[in-house]
Amino acid sequence: MKKIFIAALIAITLSLLPVDGQEKYIPTGITQVTVFKNGAQISGEVPLNLQQGTLDIVAGGLSPFIDASSIQVKGEGDFMILGVNHRNNFLENPGESSIIDDLRAKIEALTIKIEDEKTAVDVLLEKEIFLKSNYDVVTNKTTITSDQLKSFLDLYSTNSELVKFAVLKKTRLIKEYEKEKQLLESQLSSSADRSKLPTGEIIVSVTASKPVTGKLKLSYVVMNAGWYPSYDIRVDDISSPASIIYKANIYQTSGIDWKDVRVSLSNASPMTAGVLPPLYPWFIDFYSPPVLYEEVKVRGVASMPAAREKKGDAGFLMKEESAPIPVSVSESNISFSFDINVPQTIVSDGKPDVVELQRLSVPASFSYESVPKISTSAYLMGYITGWEKYNFLAGESNIYFDNTFTGKGYINTAELTDTLPVSLGADNSITVKRERRIDFTSHKMIGANREEILSFLITVRNNKKQAVAIKLHDQIPLSQNSSITVEATELTGGKLNSTTGEIRWDLKIEPQETKNIIFTYTVKYPKNQKVILE
């Protein structure tokens, strides 16, 4: 009997030991997400309680869009990692998001209401049939008196009317329910329904020479996620500081909701390749732009704005204020990241979640500028100096002036200048008009050449209660042919940049004052050629 007991104990003990190649499934949560401009690195941990032997740990419940070459696994404990593999499990899925669950619940509730109302309508219609049947029976009787007939007709009319109105109300209610249900079904079909998605799994083969505890740290990259910056720029008036609110728009469709996880936003690109990329030869040659027209032309060409003059201490002096959500900035030699210190939940539906990163108080240097050849508006411009210290990225901005939304702008950090211009929108209290001076515009032949004289009048009026400084920009054409000559003959004090052809006037205009600017230029070219001017 004792031998039997010992044999049974040994058998039970052996059955508890892992068999080489056996799999152990462990659902894996998310502990940290680093979101890049395109892509995201997702990190998680798997706790281990190992017996002696070899075991395949299946870290499950992961995104089905894992870049296999980006998987990294680190072990902590007295065990050895033998290998790492990746697969998708089509028998399980990570489940639907709470938004989709809520949509399905609303559709089901509306379906029940529609069924209830249709049943009520059927009952009312049967009641109407019953009233009609009794009406036919009573009216066909010859023994009924006129008073009895009148009383019955009144009763039938009242009840029939009540039934018909009740059917009408319920029919209208059913239509409303069906319309609402159709809208919810359309929203559901356009949502990220993950019910058919597989679940990602990382299989880690481990071996231990004795029972140990430890954990595996996993990380992988998915590309269907990212973030982009946006800004709110607020100015009360040109004598007050500006406020810049720096925001991050985070989105993801990784198939897994990021629930209550630490999120970092990086401007770096995820390095998913595990092999050093080759460096191929870099060939250069002269650039020959395509010829669009055979005839010679002089036209205004939009170009990148010229570098602004460097501002002195009167420019922006930026001071960071506390943001509603604690955010810290980590910087390296080649990149930086915003570390959001409050756990975030980002649902896998592709819709951006907005997080405020920084709020900057900006004592501002402002000026008005206008390009009347293109637009008759005067734009309020601000200039930020030392902007590179604040980790700005190129992005769209919402502009508010005097507590009014005035439009959208764009912060372009690609300009290699120490001053970052920011457009704060058009100010309708400054009017600008550009018109051709017909009496001073001519076209004539002089020997073998044609001579064209073009003259323009620019009118600027300040309707504000205070004086303003405004810069006007216009241009004369540039010749790319030695047979074409261009000469500015009248600029009214404007400064001509002979390299770009741009003319700039720096004006100070008093309240309710109007100033006129005249500029004239002459173009000469052979009379057997054609030149397109304005």
Which string of b and e fits 347-379 if b means at least 16 CB within 10 Å?
bbbeebbebebbbbebebbbbbbbbbeeeebbb
Are 454 and 440 in contact, with CB atoms under 8 Å apart? no
Q: What percent of the chain has pLDDT over 70?
A: 78
Query: Does the structure show a pLDDT above 50 at 474?
Result: yes
Give the pLDDT mean for 503-516: 95
Which tens digits make up the pLDDT trace of 16-60? 444 455 889 999 989 999 999 999 999 999 999 999 999 999 999
Return the bridge partners of 512, or none: none
- First and final C-alpha spacing in the chain: 112
499: three-class secondary structure by DSSP: coil
Higher local confidence (pLDDT), 411 or 259: 259
Give the pLDDT mean for 317-328: 54
Give the pLDDT mean for 206-235: 92
pLDDT of residue 236: 80
Higher local confidence (pLDDT), 466 or 1: 466
Token pair for 149: 């007939």
pLDDT of residue 427: 84
Query: Does the structure show a pLDDT above 50 at 14?
Result: no
SS (H, E, C) 21-39: CCEEEEECCCCEEEECCCC
pLDDT of residue 146: 66
pTM over 0.75: no
Query: Does the structure show a pLDDT above 50 at 311?
Result: no
How many Å apart are CA 389 and CA 177, to the nearest integer? Answer: 56
Residue 492 confidence class, pLDDT cut points 50, 70, 90 = very high
Query: Does the structure show a pLDDT above 60 at 97?
Result: no
Q: Which long-range contacts (CB under 8 A, 24 or more apart) does 166-175 make?
A: 166/124, 167/121, 167/124, 167/125, 167/128, 170/117, 170/120, 170/121, 170/124, 171/121, 173/117, 174/114, 174/117, 174/118, 174/121
Give the pLDDT mean for 340-350: 89
Q: Give the range among 100-104, 282-286, 494-498 with minimum mean pLDDT.
A: 282-286
Using alpha carbons, select from 419, 413, 407 the residue that is nearest to residue 379: 407
How many Å apart are CA 451 and CA 462, to the nearest integer? Answer: 37
Residues 6+ apart with CB under 8 A from 39: 221, 222, 223, 225, 226, 269, 270, 272
